[in-house]
Structure 1
Amino acid sequence: MKSYAKYRALLLTRLSELDQRLHEIEEELDAHQSKDWEELATEREDDEVLEGLGLAGQEEIRRIRAALQRIRDGEYGICTKCGEQIPEARLDVLPYTPFCKTCAASL
Structure 2
Amino acid sequence: MKDVSEYKAMLLKRLSELDTRLHGIEAELDAPHSKDWEELAVEREGEEVLETLGQAGQEEIRGIQAALQRIRDGEYGYCVKCGDAIAEERLAVLPAAPLCTACASGA
Q: Gaps (5+ residues) in structure 2?
A: none
With normalisation by structure 2, the TM-score equals 0.96
Letter in 2 for 1:21: R
Query: What is the aligned length?
Result: 107
Task: Give me the TM-score of the superposition, normalised by structure 1.
Answer: 0.96
Residue identity matched to 1:9 = A
- Secondary structure, in 3 states, of the residue corresponding to 1:78? coil
Mapping of residues 1-107 of structure 1, within 5 Å: 3-106=3-106
Amino acid at match of 2:25: I
- TM-superposed deviation, 1:19: 0.3
Percent identity over the alignment?
68
| Over 4 Å off, 4+ runs | none
Distance 2:20 2:50 in 1: 14
- Quote how far apart the aligned CAs of 1:3 are: 3.1
Cα RMSD, aligned residues only: 1.5
Deviation at 1:96, TM superposition (A): 0.2
Q: Distance between the aligned counterparts of 1:49 and 1:40, measured in 2?
A: 14
CA distance in 2, matches of 1:93, 1:60: 14
User: Is 1:22–1:54's contact at 8 Å kept on the other side of the alignment?
Assistant: yes
Report the Cα distance in structure 2 between the residues aligned to 1:35 and 1:85, rounded to whole angstroms. Answer: 56
**Distance (Å, rounded) in 1 between the aligned partners of 2:32 and 2:51:** 14
1:32 Cα deviation after fit:
3.3
